Amino acid sequence: MARPMAGPGPRIRRERLTLEAMIRLFCRKRHHTRGALCEGCRALQEYALARLERCPFQERKPTCAKCRVHCYREPRRSQIREVMRFSGPRMLLRHPILAIGHLRDGRRPAP
C-alpha cells in the first residue's frame, strides 16, 4: 500500500507565509490594492510558490539571497527582488515573527 506524501516541513511552510506576506504588502503599498492581489502580483506569487515547492533543498533551504541555485527566470527574478527589497524592511513592523524567522534563516549556511 502506497504511503501518502508528506506535506511541506515547517521551514517551507514558514517560507510560504513569508513570501505571501511580502507580496501582499508590496501589492497593497505599490499598487494600492485592498484585499485581493492585482493580476501581476498574483501571477508572481503563483510562480514563486511553484518554485518553492520544487526547491531541491527543501528543509535545508537557505534564503534566496544566499542560495547557489537560482530558481527564478527573468523577468520574475527582478520582480521578486524588487518585492523583497521593498517589503523586507517593512516586514519587521507588519510581520515581526516571520521577519525574525527569515533573518534567522539568512544566517544558515547554504548547502
Q: What pLDDT score does 61 carry? A: 81
Which pTM does this prediction carry? 0.87
pLDDT top residue among 7 and 4: 7
Q: 11: number of CA atoms within 13 Å, CB side?
A: 15
Tell me the three state secondary structure of residue 91: helix
pLDDT of residue 83: 97
Over the stretch 32-51, which tens digit does the pLDDT of each residue have? Answer: 999 899 999 999 999 999 99
Largest interatomic CA distance in the chain: 51
Rounded alpha-carbon distances, angstroms, from residue 34 to 42, 100, 110: 13, 26, 37
Residue pLDDT, tens place only, 59-97: 888 787 778 888 899 999 999 999 999 999 999 999 999
Domain boundaries, given as residue ranges, for the chain:
22-106
Whether the pLDDT of residue 6 is over 70: the answer is no
